[in-house]
């Protein structure tokens, strides 16, 4: 299939991209890695008259460590996240998630910003964004603003970005020392997108769970943070009993059309992810159970 006709512009700076976008917000669209936008255009499901390519804007690329958080350019590719020493040192959950996206071609081109702005509820990265309390940096008609990722998705494929807004970067708090991370994904046999993607990090205080964040993607109407589950886990020993009781909790706070199989799947995956965390902790002597 071929796209409808469009005009292509390549921006060299954020300012230029913002200006072009604000000149004609309704008819322009940002082009990042193109791995979601171009398929839509080829299916003629999207027909933006103007594409503004942000791929050459150096300021939008890469991962920097800034005090207590990581500063990540919106045009950072999955592969760059996977390879980044800063991510590995401070937020390995990001790399664990990015590693599972598509195949190597997709990871070489697809960007974190593109994935978040595309707002596919079945994408991988939202789970980690939620679990990591990511903050978005947005450049808009009123200048720069930040807002939490949690709440960014309004509906499937709809964010609260204004037509003249560009996502320029993310701020991700560094994980506490010694946090254990798991991204557990069940890929769809055809598309490879997650039927369920669970991003969890967890710290221990002695033999008990200290802090714990759980982001869930793929399975509900929108990706969500499983806060009841987190609250339940805090302060407990991560043993079989805890895992069993924790299983159904994420499902209880999911907003979705009732489906027995999905409920079961989420329960089983929560239990499996927690078991994996239990093993990671046990390897460090933090969890007596395993």
Partner 1 sequence: MTQVIGQALQRHEDIRLIRGQGQYTDDMKLPGMVYAHIVRSPYAHAKITAIDTSRAKKMPGVVAVFSGQDLKDEVGLIPTAWIPPDADMKVTPHPALAYDEVRYQGDGVAVVIAESPYLAQDAALAVDIKYEPLKVVTDPFEAKAEGAPGVHTEIPDNVAFHWQAGENLDDIFQKAEVVVKHHFRQQRLIPNAMEPRSALAQYNAAKGELTLWATTQNPHIHRLLMSGLLGIPEHKLRVIAIDVGGAFGSKIACYPDEVIVSWASKKLNRPVKWTETRQENFQVTTHGRDHVQEVELAGTRGGEIQAIRVKTYANMGAYLSTAAPGVPTILFGLIINGAYKIPHASSEVFGMLTHTTPVDAYRGAGRPEATFLVERMVDLYAQALQMDPLEVRQKNLIRHEDFPFTNAFGLQYDSGNYQETLSKALEIFDYPKFRREQENLRKQGKYIGVGLSTYVEMCGLGPSEVAGAVGFQGGLWESATVRVHPTGKVSVYTGASPHGQGEETTFAQIVSQELGIAVDDIEVIHGDTQQIAMGWGTYGSRTTAVGGAAIHMANEKVLEKARKIAAHKLEVNEEDVSYDSGTFSVRGLPSKSVTFQEVALDAYLAWSLPPGIEPALEGTAFYNPKNFTYPFGAHIAVVSVDPDTGDTTLLRYVAVDDVGRIINPMIVEGQIHGGLVQGIGQALWEGAEFDEQGQLITGSLLDYALPKARFFPKFETAHTETPSPHNPLGVKGVGETGAIASTPCIVNAVMDALKPFGIDDLSMPLTPPKVWQAIRQAQGKESLHS
Ligand X SMILES: Cc1cc2nc3c(=O)[nH]c(=O)nc-3n(C[C@H](O)[C@H](O)[C@H](O)COP(=O)(O)OP(=O)(O)OC[C@H]3O[C@@H](n4cnc5c(N)ncnc54)[C@H](O)[C@@H]3O)c2cc1C
Footprint of ligand X (CB under 6 A): 29-37, 39, 54, 74, 101-102, 106, 109-111, 113-115, 117-118, 123-125, 161, 166-167, 192-193
If you count them, how many residues does the chain have? 290
Nearest residue (CB) to partner 1, 2 versus 285? 2
Residue 106 sits in the site that holds partner 1 (CB under 8 A)? no
Are the CB atoms for 209 and 238 separated by under 8 Å?
A: yes
Applying CB under 8 A, among 4, 89, 154, 283 the residue interacting with partner 1 is 4
Q: How far is the CB of 264 from partner 1 (least distance, A)?
A: 7
How many chain residues are in contact with partner 1, going by CB under 8 A?
16
Applying CB under 8 A, among 7, 19, 23, 44 the residue interacting with partner 1 is 44
**From partner 1, ligand X, none, which one binds at residue 37 (CB under 5 to 8 Å depending on kind)?**
ligand X
**Binding segment toward partner 1, per CB under 8 A, in 23-31, 59-67, 161-169, 259-267:** 259-267
Nearest residue (CB) to ligand X, 81 versus 209? 81
Applying CB under 8 A, among 105, 160, 264, 290 the residue interacting with partner 1 is 264
Nearest residue (CB) to ligand X, 32 versus 270? 32
Residues 48-67 that bind partner 1 (CB under 8 A): none
Beta partners for 181? Answer: 201
Nearest residue (CB) to ligand X, 84 versus 115? 115
Nearest residue (CB) to ligand X, 217 versus 287? 217
How would DSSP label each residue in the chain?
--PPP-EEEE-SSHHHHHHHHHHSTTTEEEESS-TTHHHHHHTTS---SEEEE-TT-GGG--EEEETTEEEEETT-BHHHHHH-HHHHHH-HHHHHHHTTSS-HHHHHH-BHHHHHHHT-TT-SHHHHHHHTT-EEEEEETTEEEEEESTTTEEETTEES--TT-EEEEEEEEPPPTT-EEEEEEEE-TTT-SEEEEEEEEEEEETTEEEEEEEEEESSSSS-EE-HHHHHHHTTSB-SHHHHHHHTTHHHHT--S---HHHHHHHHHHHHHHHHHHHHHHHHTT--S--
Which residue of the chain is nearest ligand X when measured via CB?
A: 114
Applying CB under 8 A, among 105, 144, 160, 191 the residue interacting with partner 1 is 191
Are the CB atoms for 128 and 81 separated by under 8 Å?
A: no
Residue 189 sits in the site that holds partner 1 (CB under 8 A)? yes
Q: How far is the CB of 148 from partner 1 (least distance, A)?
A: 31
Distance CA 93, CA 28 (A): 33
Nearest residue (CB) to partner 1, 11 versus 198? 198
| Ramachandran sector of residue 102 (left: φ over 0; alpha: ψ -120 to 50; beta: rest) | left
Q: How many CB atoms lie under 10 A from the CB of residue 262?
A: 18
Nearest residue (CB) to ligand X, 273 versus 280? 273
Residue 45 sits in the site that holds partner 1 (CB under 8 A)? no
Q: Where does this chain bind partner 1 (CB under 8 A)?
A: 1-2, 4-5, 43-44, 188-191, 193, 260-261, 264-265, 268
């Amino acid at each position: 299939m071929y796209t409808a006709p469009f005009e292509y512009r390549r921006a060299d700076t954020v300012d230029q991209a913002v200006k072009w976008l604000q000149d004609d917000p309704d008819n322009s669209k940002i082009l990042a890695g193109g791995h979601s936008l171009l398929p839509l255009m080829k299916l003629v499901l999207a027909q933006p008259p103007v594409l503004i390519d942000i791929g050459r804007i150096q300021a939008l690329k890469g991962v920097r460590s800034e005090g207590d958080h990581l500063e990540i350019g919106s045009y950072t590719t999955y592969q760059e996240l996977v390879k980044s020493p800063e991510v590995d040192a401070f937020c390995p959950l990001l790399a664990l998630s990015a590693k599972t996206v598509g195949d190597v071609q997709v990871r070489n081109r697809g960007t974190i910003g593109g994935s978040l702005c595309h707002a596919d509820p079945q994408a991988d990265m939202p789970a980690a964004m939620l679990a990591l309390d990511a903050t978005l940096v947005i450049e808009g008609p009123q200048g720069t603003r930040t807002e939490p990722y949690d709440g960014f998705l309004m509906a499937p494929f709809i964010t609260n970005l204004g037509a003249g807004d560009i996502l320029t970067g993310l701020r991700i708090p560094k994980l506490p020392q010694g946090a254990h991370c798991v991204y557990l994904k069940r890929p769809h046999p055809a598309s490879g997108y997650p039927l369920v993607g669970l991003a969890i990090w967890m710290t221990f205080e002695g033999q008990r769970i200290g802090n714990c964040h759980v982001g869930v993607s793929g399975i509900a109407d929108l990706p969500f943070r499983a806060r009841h589950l987190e609250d339940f886990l805090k302060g407990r020993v991560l043993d079989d009993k805890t895992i069993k009781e924790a299983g159904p909790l994420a499902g209880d706070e999911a907003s979705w059309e009732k489906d027995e199989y999905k409920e079961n799947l989420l329960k089983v995956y929560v239990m499996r992810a927690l078991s994996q965390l239990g093993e990671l902790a046990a390897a460090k002597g933090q969890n007596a159970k395993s």
